[in-house]
Amino acid sequence: MRMTSSLIFALLTLIVSAGFTGCGNHAVEFDKDAEHNPESLAQEFLFRYKALPDRASTKQKAQIAAREKAEAAVPDAVDQTKSERGATTKKVTVPTLDGLLTETEGRVAGVPGMSRTEAGSKVVEILAKEPAITPDDLQLIRERLAQ
């Protein structure tokens, strides 16, 4: 009897929950504002550009130097066997302007409703107004994105 009532309760719970909206087999709709557009790409590029290591502020450079000094003080694991060292960690690559441009080129090509050249030119136009970007870097950005 107890088993039957539990089974009936579970079945009713499933039926009721399937009746609510969002629980059925509805098509997933994405927000159109979440798609890439030249303005959002330029904003993301600028944010990541300012975070590049060679554009770090004096304070950030001091923090990096202090971290590297602390890591250098830790003895190397040359004399240890592999099992004593533990699992090797993944090497982190340092972000570069070239890598950032490569990623942005791919995203510019995927802007809906615009050609790659048109979207790239719009991104370059927005970035040209930013004083944080050096003239040499801006020239490289123009060459890579507005072609």
Tokens of 10: 């579970």
| 85 part of a folded domain | no
The domain containing residue 122 runs over which residues? Answer: 37-56+93-147
Average pLDDT of the chain to the nearest whole number? 78
| 130 part of a folded domain | yes
| 87 part of a folded domain | no
Distance CA 62, CA 59 (A): 5
Cβ neighbours of residue 140 closer than 8 Å, sequence gap 6 or more: 97, 101
pLDDT of the residue at 30: 59
Q: What is the pLDDT of residues 85-107, one digit of tens each?
A: 555 565 656 678 899 999 999 99
Q: How many domains does the chain fold into?
A: 1
